[in-house]
Structure 1
Amino acid sequence: MSFEEKRVWIYAAIAAGVPVVYLAIVLPQVAQTPISEIAYVRPLLTIIGVAMAANIVANIVAGMLWPRDANKKDERDTDIHRYGQRTEYYVLAIGALGVFVLTLAEFEHFWIANALYLSFVLSALSSSIVKIVAYRRGF
């Protein structure tokens, strides 16, 4: 497994795991609290910061565990990265369109913010999955 593939696995794990924590914090409030009164801003911003920090720290640790591989990147890694980024772009563009529709329909900020966050999560996951499949099966 190349170092770049290890980085993709790290990114995928964080992109899948961190939103679960956010859902565990916010989802119980949806059933009990009016949407306009749900405290979602602080948990959302915190979880975004945690995801960014976790990704940075995990990549540093991976670089320390496999120092010889850390700076190796070949043409295949570059092509797979571009391939995954294209997928990420399309998923994010569709998500942004959904957020745009929610905004025009004047939905509560809660729904707009969470739809945007969902767009980012889905784009990260789709990109990671496409890259992992490309590493494993080729493209």
Structure 2
Amino acid sequence: MSLKEKSAWLQAISATCMYAAYLVVVLGPARSASVTGTAYQRPMITIIVAGIVVSIVAQIVMGMTSPGAAGRTDERDIGIHRHGEYVGYYVVSAGAAAALALAMAEADPFWIANVIFLAFVLAAVVTSVVKIVAYRRGF
């Protein structure tokens, strides 16, 4: 497994775990009250920052465990990366359109923020899955 494929796995797992942690923190107290009344801003920012830090540290550790592979990319890696990011762009664009529709409908800011956050998480996961499939099945 190449370092770029490991990186895609890492991104998919960390994005999924990050969003799951966010849901537990935000929806846990919401069982007894309205979900739109929960304080979501601080947990969202905390989870995003923690996810970024964990991903950076994991990338560093992964690079240290296989120093010979670090920094090596070939034409296939570049094509797979481009293809994955291209598909992820459509996912985040659809999420932005959904958030825009919610804003135009004057929805609660809770829903708008969470649709945007979900769009970014889904884009990260879809991008990673597309890359993993391309590495496994060929590109």
Q: Quickly name the TM-score band, shorter chain normalised.
A: over 0.9
- Identity, in percent, stands at 46
TM-score (norm 2): 0.96
SS at match of 2:28: helix
Question: Post-superposition, which runs of at least 4 consecutive aligned residues in structure 1 deviate over 3 A?
Answer: none
Structure 2 distance, partners of 1:44, 1:60, is 24
User: Structure 2 counterpart of 1:67, which letter?
Assistant: P
The question of whether the paired residues in 2 share the 8 Å contact of 1:35 and 1:108 is answered with no
User: Could you list the runs of 5+ residues in structure 2 that have no partner in the other structure?
Assistant: none
Structure 2 distance, partners of 1:105, 1:64, is 49
Structure 2 distance, partners of 1:111, 1:30, is 14
The question of whether the paired residues in 1 share the 8 Å contact of 2:14 and 2:55 is answered with yes
Structure 1 distance, partners of 2:31, 2:131, is 37
User: Could you list the runs of 5+ residues in structure 1 that have no partner in the other structure?
Assistant: none
The question of whether the paired residues in 2 share the 8 Å contact of 1:22 and 1:44 is answered with yes
SS at match of 1:67: coil
User: Structure 1 counterpart of 2:19, which letter?
Assistant: P
Match of 1:43 in 2: 43
Structure 1 distance, partners of 2:134, 2:100, is 32
**How many residues end up aligned between the 2 structures?**
139
The question of whether the paired residues in 2 share the 8 Å contact of 1:14 and 1:55 is answered with yes
Per-residue CA deviations over 1:67-94 (Å, capped at 9, x if unaligned) read 1101111110000000000100000000
RMSD between superposed Cα atoms in Å: 1.0
TM-score (norm 1): 0.96
